[in-house]
Amino acid sequence: MSALSLEPYGWDAFFAEAFAPHARAGLMPGRVLLQHNKIYLVCTRQGEIYAEVTGRVLHEARGREDLPAVGDWVALRPAGGEGRRATIHAVLPRKSKFSRKAAGSRTEEQVVAANVDTVFLVAGLDNDFNPRRLERYLIMSHESGARPVVVLNKADLAEDLEEKVREVERIAPGVPVVLMSARRGEGVERLLPFIWTGQTVALMGSSGVGKSTIVNRLLGDEAQRTQEVRSGDDRGKHTTTHRELILLPGGGLVMDTPGMRELQLLVSDRGLRETFDDVETLAAECRFSDCRHEGEPGCRIREALADGTLAAARFESYRKMLAEMAQAAVRQEQRAAQVEKGRVKRLTRAYNKSKKRY
Ligand code: GDP
Ligand code: ZN
């Protein structure tokens, strides 16, 4: 059997180098296309196979973030006999990752998409256009390690188009901006310079901004039909037979996972700093390092606000973001304290029980 090339799936020198020790151990590389609980659909040189992680990988994982996610490159041992699943022995280092907190009260990290190269931050240019939301998505993409591209969709509905584009350029200096109308099929070609063979793109944005419409445009009509046929099985039950990492007909891959769609904001200092680089740079120039920018002498922020180099709205969203982050940190601490309290309670109970026995 002739081996499939993994390059269209994003295999490159980075992953080849990381994989080298596993190759010596007789394992083969593959990329996760779909995850269903503990079962993974993995694309390998021998085609698509189902796989499970080994007990050892499970055991050694420090948390869910150490387990494979869609988009991950993994080291596999092929299935031995008929009907058996391959085993995943390692997850290769990630170039980028999108995470969210796992369901429940614990603040455990769960990776919902790995190794995304470029993320399209989609916003609708209709009434729902919200610059603050775009800032949040920018923070997430900076955190992930993927390169952001702002996609302004529904250009057909936009009223003050130029003003909105200028606003986005203020929010996201240096980030490419693409204008399009997915419904009309206009501007789809402007996305193509960001998608080439082996490149993985993902879409992020609020519900209703047109992400599915854009994906369908990229897939083309034929793929769209196939997806429709596949969306239900013969027993009428809905099954997820489609891949969440999809090869595009023109080269490149698009990541479309449910997790990406329900991503929560996981803000961190790094993401904030990069998104509000201009504000942070000004703040660093204030005379006092603990300047609250509330009228202290030598405040660069006040100066910039006065001469118009810093927009009041932008500074306001920076402040709001800082306040939200502080709140999130408090909540996280409270949760951690609660978990600790529960642990102490359980330990005490176990201890008291053991005392009774003796
Ligand atoms: P998603 O929730 O982000 O995946 O959004 P959808 O792709 O499902 O689109 C939501 C709605 O917006 C649908 O009714 C689409 O037909 C519509 N839509 C998508 N793109 C455009 C566009 O460029 N212009 C207009 N006017 N409507 C669009
Ligand atoms: Zn200041």
Whichever domain contains 318, its CATH number is 1.10.40.50
- Judge whether 284 lies within some domain: yes
State whether 57 and 197 are in the same domain: no
- Judge whether 357 lies within some domain: no
State whether 251 and 227 are in the same domain: yes
State whether 108 and 178 are in the same domain: yes
State whether 101 and 175 are in the same domain: yes
Name the pTM for this structure: 0.73
Nearest CA to ligand 1 atom 22: 154
* For the CA of 215, the nearest atom of ligand 1: 7
The pLDDT score that the predictor gives to residue 32 is 97
- CATH code (residue 206): 3.40.50.300
User: How far apart (Å, rounded) are the C-alpha atoms in residues 211 and 218?
Assistant: 11
Q: What order do you get walking across the sheet with 147-153 strand by strand?
A: 177-179, 147-153, 118-124, 200-204, 253-255, 245-247
- CATH code (residue 87): 2.40.50.140
Nearest-ligand number for the alpha carbon of 280? 2
- Minimum mean pLDDT among 59-68, 105-114, 158-167, 221-230: which range? 221-230
Nearest-ligand number for the alpha carbon of 315? 2
State whether 132 and 63 are in the same domain: no
State whether 223 and 301 are in the same domain: no
| Buried b / exposed e along 291-316 (16+ C-beta atoms within 10 A) | bebeeeeebbbbebbeeeebeeebbe
- Judge whether 36 lies within some domain: yes
State whether 150 and 282 are in the same domain: no
- Judge whether 230 lies within some domain: yes
Q: What would the mean pLDDT of 117-130 be, rounded to a whole number?
A: 88
State whether 49 and 181 are in the same domain: no
State whether 185 and 62 are in the same domain: no
Nearest CA to ligand 1 atom 19: 210
Q: Give 322 Cα–ligand 2 centroid separation in angstroms.
A: 15
- Judge whether 101 lies within some domain: yes
State whether 208 and 290 are in the same domain: no
- Judge whether 346 lies within some domain: no
User: How far apart (Å, rounded) are the C-alpha atoms in residues 112 and 254?
Assistant: 14
The pLDDT score that the predictor gives to residue 182 is 94
Q: How confident is the model at residue 101 (pLDDT cuts 50, 70, 90)?
A: low
Domain extent at residue 331: 269-340
Q: What would the mean pLDDT of 98-124 be, rounded to a whole number?
A: 79
β-pairing, 118-124 vs 200-204, is parallel
CB atoms near residue 141 (< 10 Å): 28
**Which tens digit of pLDDT belongs to each residue from 59-93?**
988 888 899 999 999 999 988 776 678 999 999 99
The pLDDT score that the predictor gives to residue 25 is 94
Average confidence score pLDDT of the chain: 83
Q: Give 301 Cα–ligand 2 centroid separation in angstroms.
A: 5
Q: Give 201 Cα–ligand 1 centroid separation in angstroms.
A: 19
Q: Pull the structure tokens for residue 215.
A: 């994906």
Q: What would the mean pLDDT of 115-122 be, rounded to a whole number?
A: 96
**Which tens digit of pLDDT belongs to each residue from 150-203?**
999 999 998 888 999 999 998 898 999 999 999 999 999 999 999 999 999 999
- Judge whether 356 lies within some domain: no
State whether 85 and 129 are in the same domain: no
Q: How many domains does the chain have?
A: 3
DSSP category for residue 94: P
- Judge whether 324 lies within some domain: yes
Q: Give 131 Cα–ligand 2 centroid separation in angstroms.
A: 24
The pLDDT score that the predictor gives to residue 3 is 85
**Which tens digit of pLDDT belongs to each residue from 19-52?**
999 999 999 999 999 988 789 999 999 999 999 9
The pLDDT score that the predictor gives to residue 193 is 95
Q: Give 104 Cα–ligand 1 centroid separation in angstroms.
A: 32
* For the CA of 155, the nearest atom of ligand 1: 23
Domain boundary among 62, 91, 120: 91
Domain boundary among 224, 256, 288: 256
**Which tens digit of pLDDT belongs to each residue from 256-292?**
877 776 664 444 555 666 778 889 899 999 999 889 9
Nearest CA to ligand 1 atom 16: 183
Task: Write out the H or E segment, with its range, that includes residue 207.
Answer: none
The pLDDT score that the predictor gives to residue 264 is 44
Q: Pull the structure tokens for residue 323.
A: 């306040």
Q: How confident is the model at residue 221 (pLDDT cuts 50, 70, 90)?
A: low
| Helices and strands (H and E) in the chain: how many | 10, 13
Q: What is the CA radius of gyration of the chain?
A: 24
> To test ligand 1's pocket by mutation, which of 127, 183, 211 has the most ligand atoms within 8 angstroms of CB?
183
Domain boundary among 91, 118, 148: 91
State whether 200 and 293 are in the same domain: no
The pLDDT score that the predictor gives to residue 93 is 97
β-pairing, 253-255 vs 200-204, is parallel
Q: Give 305 Cα–ligand 2 centroid separation in angstroms.
A: 11
The pLDDT score that the predictor gives to residue 357 is 54
Q: DSSP letters of 110-168?
A: EEEEE---EEEEEEESSTT--HHHHHHHHHHHHHHTPEEEEEEE-GGG-SSHHHHHHHH
